[in-house]
Chain A
Amino acid sequence: MKRMTFLILIFTLCLFAQDINNERLFLDIDTDITDALPGRNPAFLHRENIPFNYAFSYRLRHDGGQDRLPYTPALKLYQNLSATAYMEMENGLFFAGRFAYRHEQRKDKLFLHNAENYLDMPFYFGDSTSGDFNLNGIDWNLIFSYPLSSRWRAAADIFYNVDEQFKTVFPKPNVKRNGVHLRPALAYRGKSLQFGVTGSFFRYRELMNTRKYVLEQGRSPIFIRIRGLDRPLLTYAQTSEERLQSIDGKGVSANLDLGGILLLESFYERSHAGIVDGGSYPEAQGNWELDRFSWRAALRKTGPRSGVSELFFEQHLRKGSGLHPTLDRRIYASYYRAMEGGISLPYRRSPGESFTGTVSYLIEDYKREDNFYGLLQYIPAHMLKMEFIYRKSGKKADFEMNLQYAEDICIGEAVVYTEMSGDYYADISAAELAYQLTDRRQLGAELQISIPFNGRQLAFRGSYINVMPLNSDARFHYAESGISYIF
């Protein structure tokens, strides 16, 4: 039962933890094998914090609704089947491995051939045809963690994925992607101090092919080379039917735990995407660069009866820029900044039963500049977030319930944007802006139950978040359910 309580705790931490470097930016894949480790540092993988030996999991995600950005599909169905193992070798080497297959369906995804939007990135390849995407992919994640001494450990985390995405509607884009992510890490575990450093090197490649097409075929293909804010720069007529995008990046993250009282985490990453056209009508393409920086500080106090209370503050910065293909000038710039501070207070009713309430306040702003046309969008936002967690560990089953509430707070900060006209402005930019300007309320619930089964454990998880704009009946939901068979 201790093991199970620990397992539930780990799951809860995954959910509750504000992992600062856990943003799924380039690939929409959960590499949750390190999620429970401090700072997601693989060198912290050792005997005391592995959640289980083996597990087989199935997860189903269902996102959809009317209240969405123009690029977001009306429905996204995501299924993931994975096998995970943690093993300790004789010489102290720890091994963790995860193999997963995933299948994705995206319905009514407009304007883009890319499955992912690549946040803030101004370069797209697309047309206005609607259609459904299908994706099949597999990914591996291996971690080797080795003790250098009684307190120091080194580790290597290797992630590799391959997937293929296709759309059946003309011009039938086919996207083949593969990615490699290597994270060497070092960790120190002292009696009242532990810290770690993790490096990050990755390359994600995406090769896209479409049917060759011209405007005269009565279609409406558009080759969006560089997307400005309001008027995309377009090349009409024949398009290149091949494009290779390669995203290379490196980063570093660090985490520090001072006696369980002060916890610090920081993360920095710089990535660069090079885009090259192939095919019959290659066009010089621009490149983009992205910097991400985050840090988080938490003060914790552990009461003998109440549990862990926490005061936390975190900050995120994402800064992107787009470069003109031939003029060697920055033509696009964006940033996203966010600050969040909050407090988490627990109440332990009995040894196996506890409540935790968290209140936090988020301030964020988003700025996009089109240096080419001299256009601007600036959208500030404030959000109040509340969370309530109830945990109960019984003799036969563990139970956890999580209720979340969040609401945009309109405090009258000025939204600045340049209004334009034209089809693309109306279809994309104006719709995107209207979405950003709308205040929303989010209501979410999550339930986790773990029960013994044939001498093993079965863990169920279900969550539902409903996003409700304050000025319309349109809705968007994120629903997820999963089951794990744990050895």
Chain B
Amino acid sequence: MKQNPYNMRNRFQWAKGCAAALLLTLFLAPNCSLQILPPASMRFNAAICVLDTTETGADRTVADAVVLLQSITYGDRLETISDSAGMAYFTDILPDRYNLLVSGRRVSLTEMLLINGQLQDTALYVPENDTLFLDIYAQTSRTSALLISEIYYSGAPPKPIPQYYHDQFLEIYNNSNITLYLDSLIISDTEAGFQDDSLIHAIHAYMFPGSGSDYPIGPGEFIVVAQDAIDHSQAPVNSVNLLDANFEYYVSDQGDVDNPGVPNMIQLHHKYGIDFLYSVFNDALVILKVKDPYALGYDEFNRLMLPKSGVIDGVEYRENTSQFDWKRLDASIDAGLAGGIPGYSNKSVERRIERMEEGRFIFMDNNNSSLDFIILSKPTPGFCNQEVPQ
């Protein structure tokens, strides 16, 4: 049978097309010998050297310091102790922005110095699963005899009264073995933005009454300063009973509640508000002693300026303890952050007990609230329910 030339040409083109398609397929087909293995993680190791800025040579390294890595994104806390060479090692950590806190002690024959350092919001990452080497510089400070032992700032749950914060209190403890006096001691808050300033910029400042020896605080004694020294445990608030508070804030021209049976703190400066309200989210409170609270005057925004050199103790707290930006206190007063509790949760922060000594608590004082404070599910004004570590 005679072949139709049209069909012949068609068949030839068909074969050509087939060959072209086959070639393209071979060229572009996926590689079948692909290795299906998990990729390497970006985890890495970190070696952190703790250095004391006040020493030189081999004495610069700080042994037995607590080194804390706080992940900003995930909230993870990694803690370790520096070795005799001042090195702290972390393994398999994830790349992230971290807050790095260091707290140690240097003990000599004559004194004990606290060593604190911090690196805030620092991106830690090395490629190729390598080890990151980092130096952290710490500065020295001294322990305090008087401590802020508990702050209840969060306020009562918003049921049924929304945003109830008149039950706030601050507790002071004598951590020493001698009697001290509260007379003319100042409690103030501090404005953010002045971390590196030598002055506290106080929005509120209140002073204990007394002429020098009127209000003693014995070793192991608590003093409670209430916002309003009334019983907040009654319905509908269902919070704490502060009838037994030792002092209270009273703002006479703002319609504040006054318990005549409880001495009032002396108002040095009160920029705004119906009371000395501690922020339920973030704030810093200090106790300090100065000769003349008005000696340095006010800043341009009507905040009382007080010298940081007079600070005895200070605590900074935040709802999110991973966020170290815009910190209010420097490492010499508080290198860390207490808190991590939501507003209006009826929870407080209390200093950890380090040990017992002669029947009294010795609270931890590293000048680092991230290490020194714990969260209490229920405030304990004037007492402490913590278990003593063995």
Chain A residues near B (Cβ < 8 Å): 214-216, 225, 233-237, 258-259, 261-262, 295, 297, 299, 301, 311, 313, 315, 317, 324, 326-327, 329, 331, 333, 337, 339, 365, 367, 369-376, 378, 414, 416, 418
Give min CB distance, A223 to chain B, whole Å: 11
Chain B residues near A (Cβ < 8 Å): 10, 13-14, 16-18, 20-21, 24-25, 28-30, 36-43, 73-75, 94-95, 97, 123, 125, 127, 319-320, 342-345
Considering the complex, give the chain A residue whose CB is closest to the CB of B341: A216
> Is B95 a contact of A327 with CB atoms below 8 Å?
yes
* Set B13, B29, B30, B37: member contacting A376, Cβ < 8 A: B37
> Is A299 a contact of B14 with CB atoms below 8 Å?
yes
> Is A261 a contact of B95 with CB atoms below 8 Å?
no
> Is B319 a contact of A237 with CB atoms below 8 Å?
yes
Considering the complex, give the chain B residue whose CB is closest to the CB of A335: B30
Query: Could you list 17 A-B pairs, sorted by A, with CB under 8 Å?
Result: A214-B342, A216-B342, A216-B343, A234-B73, A258-B13, A259-B13, A297-B20, A299-B17, A299-B21, A313-B21, A315-B29, A327-B95, A327-B123, A329-B95, A372-B41, A376-B36, A376-B37
Known pairs A216-B344, A313-B25, A326-B123; A369 contacts B20 (CB<8 A): no
> Is B38 a contact of A418 with CB atoms below 8 Å?
yes
> Is B10 a contact of A367 with CB atoms below 8 Å?
no
Contacts of B40 in A (CB 8 A): 371, 374
Cα distance, A261 to B24, chains bound together (Å) = 16
Cα distance, A233 to B73, chains bound together (Å) = 8
Give min CB distance, A429 to chain B, whole Å: 15
Considering the complex, give the chain B residue whose CB is closest to the CB of A370: B39
Cα distance, A262 to B17, chains bound together (Å) = 6
> Is A375 a contact of B38 with CB atoms below 8 Å?
yes
Considering the complex, give the chain B residue whose CB is closest to the CB of A341: B25
Cα distance, A326 to B36, chains bound together (Å) = 28
Give min CB distance, B267 to chain A, whole Å: 32
**Supplied contacts A297-B25, A371-B40, 20 more A-B pairs, CB within 8 Å:** A234-B73, A235-B73, A258-B17, A259-B13, A262-B13, A262-B16, A301-B14, A311-B18, A311-B21, A313-B21, A313-B25, A315-B29, A329-B127, A371-B42, A372-B94, A372-B95, A374-B38, A374-B41, A376-B36, A414-B36
Give min CB distance, A220 to chain B, whole Å: 14
Contacts of B344 in A (CB 8 A): 216
> Is A369 a contact of B39 with CB atoms below 8 Å?
yes
Considering the complex, give the chain B residue whose CB is closest to the CB of A229: B38
Contacts of B39 in A (CB 8 A): 333, 369-371, 374-376
Cα distance, A299 to B41, chains bound together (Å) = 46
Known pairs A262-B20, A313-B25, A329-B42; A378 contacts B14 (CB<8 A): no
> Is A371 a contact of B41 with CB atoms below 8 Å?
yes
Give min CB distance, B336 to chain A, whole Å: 18
Give min CB distance, B8 to chain A, whole Å: 14
> Is B125 a contact of A315 with CB atoms below 8 Å?
no
Contacts of A326 in B (CB 8 A): 97, 123
Interface hub of B36, B41, B95 (most chain A Cβ within 10 A): B36
> Is A295 a contact of B319 with CB atoms below 8 Å?
no
> Is B28 a contact of A315 with CB atoms below 8 Å?
yes
Considering the complex, give the chain A residue whose CB is closest to the CB of B94: A372
Contacts of A414 in B (CB 8 A): 36
Cα distance, A259 to B38, chains bound together (Å) = 48
Cα distance, A367 to B14, chains bound together (Å) = 36
Cα distance, A258 to B38, chains bound together (Å) = 45
Contacts of B29 in A (CB 8 A): 315, 339
Give min CB distance, A57 to chain B, whole Å: 36
Contacts of A216 in B (CB 8 A): 342-345
Contacts of B24 in A (CB 8 A): 295, 297
Considering the complex, give the chain A residue whose CB is closest to the CB of B37: A376
Known pairs A215-B342, A339-B30; A374 contacts B21 (CB<8 A): no
Cα distance, A365 to B32, chains bound together (Å) = 11
Cα distance, A318 to B345, chains bound together (Å) = 49
Contacts of B37 in A (CB 8 A): 376
Contacts of A258 in B (CB 8 A): 13, 17
Cα distance, A216 to B157, chains bound together (Å) = 11
Contacts of A324 in B (CB 8 A): 95
Contacts of B20 in A (CB 8 A): 262, 297
Contacts of B36 in A (CB 8 A): 367, 376, 378, 414, 416
Considering the complex, give the chain B residue whose CB is closest to the CB of A380: B36
Contacts of B25 in A (CB 8 A): 297, 313, 315
Considering the complex, give the chain A residue whose CB is closest to the CB of B31: A337
Give min CB distance, B39 to chain A, whole Å: 5
Cα distance, A301 to B30, chains bound together (Å) = 28
Contacts of B13 in A (CB 8 A): 258-259, 261-262
Give min CB distance, B46 to chain A, whole Å: 15
Contacts of B75 in A (CB 8 A): 236
Give min CB distance, A304 to chain B, whole Å: 11
Contacts of B38 in A (CB 8 A): 369, 374-376, 418
Cα distance, A258 to B21, chains bound together (Å) = 13
Contacts of A299 in B (CB 8 A): 14, 17-18, 21
Contacts of B319 in A (CB 8 A): 237
Cα distance, A339 to B28, chains bound together (Å) = 10
Known pairs A372-B41, A376-B36; A261 contacts B97 (CB<8 A): no
Considering the complex, give the chain B residue whose CB is closest to the CB of A367: B36
Cα distance, A371 to B37, chains bound together (Å) = 12
Considering the complex, give the chain B residue whose CB is closest to the CB of A237: B320
Give min CB distance, A281 to chain B, whole Å: 10
Cα distance, A376 to B20, chains bound together (Å) = 36
Cα distance, A331 to B30, chains bound together (Å) = 23
Interface hub of B25, B42, B125, B344 (most chain A Cβ within 10 A): B42
Give min CB distance, B18 to chain A, whole Å: 6
The 6 closest A-B pairs by CB, nearest first: A374-B41, A262-B17, A376-B38, A216-B342, A297-B21, A299-B17
Considering the complex, give the chain A residue whose CB is closest to the CB of B18: A299
Contacts of B125 in A (CB 8 A): 327, 329
Cα distance, A326 to B24, chains bound together (Å) = 41
Considering the complex, give the chain B residue whose CB is closest to the CB of A338: B30
Contacts of A261 in B (CB 8 A): 10, 13-14, 17
Contacts of A376 in B (CB 8 A): 36-39
Cα distance, A282 to B258, chains bound together (Å) = 43
Considering the complex, give the chain B residue whose CB is closest to the CB of A418: B38
Cα distance, A238 to B83, chains bound together (Å) = 38
Give min CB distance, A467 to chain B, whole Å: 26
> Is A337 a contact of B30 with CB atoms below 8 Å?
yes
Contacts of A329 in B (CB 8 A): 42, 95, 125, 127
> Is B17 a contact of A374 with CB atoms below 8 Å?
no
Considering the complex, give the chain B residue whose CB is closest to the CB of A217: B342
Contacts of A333 in B (CB 8 A): 39
Cα distance, A350 to B343, chains bound together (Å) = 81
Cα distance, A116 to B18, chains bound together (Å) = 39
Considering the complex, give the chain A residue whose CB is closest to the CB of B72: A235
Contacts of A315 in B (CB 8 A): 25, 28-29
Contacts of B94 in A (CB 8 A): 372-373
Cα distance, A371 to B39, chains bound together (Å) = 6
Cα distance, A329 to B345, chains bound together (Å) = 40
Considering the complex, give the chain B residue whose CB is closest to the CB of A216: B342
Cα distance, A17 to B127, chains bound together (Å) = 47
> Is A331 a contact of B73 with CB atoms below 8 Å?
no
> Is A234 a contact of B42 with CB atoms below 8 Å?
no
Cα distance, A373 to B43, chains bound together (Å) = 7
> Is B74 a contact of A234 with CB atoms below 8 Å?
yes
Contacts of A327 in B (CB 8 A): 95, 123, 125
Contacts of A311 in B (CB 8 A): 18, 21
Considering the complex, give the chain A residue whose CB is closest to the CB of B75: A236
